[in-house]
Amino acid sequence: MLIQIPDVINPQQLKSIQAVLKQANFVDGKISAGDVAQSVKKNEELIQDNSPQMQSLNNILMGSLINNETYKAAVMMKKIGAPFLARYRKGMGYGGHIDNPIMGQMPNMYRTDVSTTIFLNDPDEYEGGDLVIATQYGEHRAKLKAGSAIVYPSTSWHYVDEVTEGERLVCVTWAQSMIQDTNKREVLYELWQAREKMLKENPQAEETKGVDVTYIKLMQMWADT
């Protein structure tokens, strides 16, 4: 299940993030890559530290993401990892790979069920750099406007096309879901969409009550809290 979420980060927040990134120290992204990914990863990442600037970035990015209603419904997160901010300059890309199944450090390790990429600059600021995700229907290409996010299963094979001009800025993070099974998450998300629409348009209808109760029952049956 691929879900694009517009305007996760608002324009004012984007300006603040971009201003910090212009002055930030980036390092070789291979330091955070797994054994397989190291051979195909060519980008730069912001140094993870406890500086006020990094804490501010984390608060903006993760606060906006985890409070987004669509994200919450699609992911149903149990745990979420700290964000990685990545920069791709000319000649950089990320070859085909699947994200590590387990991330974090003891005692805060978590299973990666859902991956999220938030685009931090507009697509007209760089050439190439598409995020390409393999699906059962073929490859899906994403190059979204600044502030938008794409959410996809962490078991998806994906890659980033080489950037041929300009600079690509993104934030990536991973979540462990209360619903481990991808198909069940998709069912619940689609039911949530129908439920939200019905609650707004005709909240007292018997059909609305039925969908609402079904959604709640399935959450109780499937959720691992």
Same domain, 32 and 51: yes
Q: Residue 76: which CATH number?
A: 2.60.120.620
Same domain, 204 and 119: no
List of residues 6+ apart from 196 with CB closer than 8 A? none
Same domain, 102 and 171: yes
List of residues 6+ apart from 109 with CB closer than 8 A? 102, 103
User: Do residues 20 and 56 touch, judged by C-beta distance below 8 A?
Assistant: yes
How many angstroms separate the CA atoms of 225 and 222, rounded? 10
Q: How far is CA 26 from CA 48, 85, 140, in A?
A: 10, 9, 29
pTM of the model: 0.94
Same domain, 118 and 186: no
Question: Is 19 exposed, middle or buried, given 0-12, 13-18 or 19+ CB atoms closer than 10 A?
Answer: exposed
Same domain, 107 and 36: yes
How many angstroms separate the CA atoms of 167 and 139, rounded? 23
Same domain, 21 and 88: yes
**For 117, phi and psi rounded to 5 degrees?**
-115, 125
Same domain, 137 and 169: yes
Domain residues for 60?
3-177
Question: Which pLDDT value is given to residue 35?
Answer: 65
Question: Which pLDDT value is given to residue 218?
Answer: 98
Same domain, 9 and 50: yes
How many angstroms separate the CA atoms of 98 and 123, rounded? 24
Question: Which pLDDT value is given to residue 32?
Answer: 72
Q: How many domains does the chain have?
A: 2
- Both tokens assigned to 60: 């903006």
Question: pLDDT truncated to tens, each residue of the chain (225 aa)?
Answer: 999 999 999 999 999 999 999 988 899 988 776 666 778 999 999 987 878 888 889 999 999 999 999 999 999 999 999 999 999 999 999 999 999 999 998 888 999 999 999 999 999 999 999 999 999 999 999 999 999 999 999 999 999 999 999 999 999 999 999 999 999 999 999 999 999 999 999 999 999 999 999 999 999 999 998
How many angstroms separate the CA atoms of 109 and 95, rounded? 25
